[in-house]
């Protein structure tokens, strides 16, 4: 290793420059000044290859942490072929053994597990992958799919090409155009007119770019990532925003006006995937009296005027004080006795389940019920800046599920009602929207009979 000590270095020529390569550093002992500097490169964290955020670009077949890989195909058999040693990117190739015309990977319209990254209308994406075959094959294809939250495609973009026995890189760039698009999937196709032969795929890359860049096989962390102090800024390629180092942590709050914290890409509530950092640890009873809450219409004084008071009943329990009882003195919810009740419909309970930046996954609600219980309930999630003035505004939330908790005359005083729902996204806030006391479940957004109801406390879980 060599060292150059320089003092009073100055260049006056327009062509004068000093080059420091990426493996070297400048270590000034005093003040260093750059004259007429117009910009400063911000360090980039996380791979530019969005495929690497969800799957393994150098081992496409192998399952990721969520147990999913490119393992299923239509009119073909997919396998992990370690016998192929000459891949230009050095990976373990995905072998596609053809058994019919128009063979393809089942990596689209197959649920949210194949959604590679959040995406939206107006963005330009490029998918590239290396491919070869054991013979010359024409009319092979790759697809980029615009998809919704469930993984169903809203639009698609294709590239058709011939494949030889030598490796080649194929690409497709697309500008997303569907307003319902929230994510991206990709697919690899065999020939449309041949049912015999084998293809091998390796080095998959998805970029938020108009061209295919140099292949990146995994996380592309900056060399000096460890050198950080309060106020350091990085560009996060995974969430496409700036992140700031403060309180001994990197937080995705730089470059946003949202004072509530980081906001993800799932729905208008901004949910985060587990891959993006959402907590998904199983935990029962994660809420309690210490949680911040906002509510509307859940208690009333049985009169024609007044606000949410306790004057008509001795309701003494907090909404989240999760205890079992059959005594009305332990009610946490009580909306009155008249029909449709003494409070306006719908009623709301918003709970901040965590302050963690990327949110907590919740997928079950447990509730100790009264004989005359609430019926249909909508569940919402949010990472927006939720407060008293905006918490009932639906545009701040992502709809998650419709649950049913028994309704009027459902009996079983004091019994626990447990309702699970499908959710894989992390939110800091969850909200229950009570819409009726109907004795039967109705699909969203239908509303049934409305009237007075009561209940004991409730809790939120992740199973």
β-bridge partners, 431 = 350, 380
Closest CA to 247 of 352, 354, 357: 357
pTM of the entire predicted model? 0.48
Average pLDDT over residues 174-194: 93
- The predicted structure's pLDDT at residue 436: 95
pLDDT in tens, 296-308: 888 764 443 433 4
Residue with tokens 């309180």: 247
Question: What b/e string do you get for 268-304 counting C-beta neighbours within 10 Å, with b at 16 or more?
Answer: bbbbbbeebbbbbeebeebbeeeeebbbbbbbbbbee
Span 308-335, average pLDDT: 75
Instruction: Tell me which fold the domain 51-207 belongs to.
Output: Jelly Rolls (2.60.120)
Model pLDDT for residues 17-46, shown as the tens digit of each residue: 677 665 666 666 655 555 555 555 555 555
* C-alpha to C-alpha distance for 331 and 19, rounded to whole angstroms: 72
| C-alpha span between 251 and 249 (Å, rounded) | 6
Q: Where do the structural domains in the chain lie, given as residue ranges?
A: 51-207, 259-463
Q: Which of 149-163, 233-247, 341-355 has the highest mean pLDDT?
A: 149-163
Count of C-beta atoms within a 10 Å radius of residue 330? 18
Which candidate, 323, 251, 267, 259, places its Cα nearest to that of 150? Answer: 267
Residues 144, 186 contacting (CB under 8 angstroms): yes
How far is Cα 381 from Cα 430, in angstroms, rounded to an integer? Answer: 4
CA dihedral 291, 292, 295, 301 (to 10 degrees): 70
Mean of the pLDDT values across residues 72-100? Answer: 93
The arithmetic mean of pLDDT across residues 308-329, rounded, is: 72
Place of tokens 């096989």: 217
pLDDT of residue 253: 52
Under DSSP, the state recorded for 43 is P
Q: Do domains 51-207 and 259-463 have the same CATH topology?
A: yes
Q: Residue 110 has what DSSP assignment?
A: S
What token pair was written down for 118? 């959040």
Strands 233-236 and 44-45: parallel
pLDDT higher than 80, residue 181: yes
Q: How confident is the model at residue 223 (pLDDT cuts 50, 70, 90)?
A: very low
Handedness of CA 81, 86, 92, 93 (dihedral sign): negative
CATH topology of domain 259-463: Jelly Rolls (2.60.120)
| Confidence bin at 219 (pLDDT 50/70/90) | low
Distance between CA atoms of 385 and 406, rounded to whole angstroms?
Answer: 32
% of the chain at pLDDT higher than 70 = 76
Q: Is pLDDT of 196 > 80?
A: yes
**Percent of the chain predicted with pLDDT > 90:** 56
- pLDDT for residue 307: 38
pLDDT score recorded for residue 233: 73
Report phi then psi at 145, rounded to 5: -105, 130
């Amino acid at each position: 290793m060599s060292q150059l000590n320089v003092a009073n270095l100055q260049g006056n020529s327009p062509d004068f420059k000093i080059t420091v390569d990426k493996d070297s550093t400048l270590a000034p002992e005093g003040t260093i000044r750059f004259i007429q500097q117009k910009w400063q490169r911000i360090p980039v964290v996380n791979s530019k290859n969005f495929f690497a955020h969800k799957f393994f670009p150098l081992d496409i077949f192998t399952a990721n942490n969520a147990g999913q890989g490119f393992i299923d195909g239509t009119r073909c058999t997919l396998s992990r072929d370690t016998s192929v040693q000459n891949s230009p990117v050095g990976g373990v190739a995905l072998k596609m053994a053809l058994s019919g015309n128009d063979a393809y990977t089942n990596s689209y319209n197959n649920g949210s597990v194949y959604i590679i990254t959040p995406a939206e209308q107006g963005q330009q994406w490029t998918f590239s992958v290396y491919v070869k075959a054991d013979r010359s094959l024409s009319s092979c294809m790759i697809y980029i799919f615009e998809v919704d939250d469930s993984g169903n495609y809203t639009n698609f973009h294709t590239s058709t090409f011939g494949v030889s026995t030598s490796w080649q890189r194929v690409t497709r760039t697309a500008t997303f155009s569907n307003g319902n698009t929230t994510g991206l999937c990709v697919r690899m196709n065999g020939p449309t007119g041949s049912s015999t032969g084998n293809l091998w795929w390796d080095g998959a890359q998805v970029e938020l770019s108009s061209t295919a860049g140099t292949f990146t096989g995994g996380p592309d962390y900056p060399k000096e990532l460890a050198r950080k102090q309060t106020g350091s800024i990085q560009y996060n390629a995974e969430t496409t925003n700036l992140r700031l180092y403060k309180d001994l942590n990197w937080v995705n709050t730089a470059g946003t006006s949202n004072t509530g914290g980081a906001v993800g890409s799932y729905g208008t509530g901004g949910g985060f995937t587990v891959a993006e950092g959402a907590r998904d640890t199983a935990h029962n009873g994660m809420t309690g009296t210490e949680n911040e809450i906002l509510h509307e219409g859940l208690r009333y004084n049985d009169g024609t005027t007044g606000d949410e008071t306790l004057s008509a009943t001795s309701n003494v329990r907090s909404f989240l004080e999760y205890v079992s009882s059959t005594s009305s003195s332990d009610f946490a919810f009580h909306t009155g006795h008249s029909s449709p009740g003494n409070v306006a419909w719908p009623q709301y309970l918003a709970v901040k389940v965590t302050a963690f930046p990327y949110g907590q996954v919740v997928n079950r609600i447990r509730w100790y019920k009264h004989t005359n219980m609430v019926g249909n309930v909508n569940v919402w999630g949010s990472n927006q800046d939720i407060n008293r003035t905006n918490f009932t505004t639906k545009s701040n939330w992502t709809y998650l599920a419709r649950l049913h908790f028994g309704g009027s005359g459902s009996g079983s005083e004091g019994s626990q009602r447990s309702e699970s729902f499908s959710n894989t996204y992390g939110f800091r806030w969850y909200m229950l929207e009570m819409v009726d006391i109907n004795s039967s479940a109705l699909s969203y957004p239908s509303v049934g009979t409305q009237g007075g109801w009561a209940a004991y406390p409730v809790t939120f879980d992740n199973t």
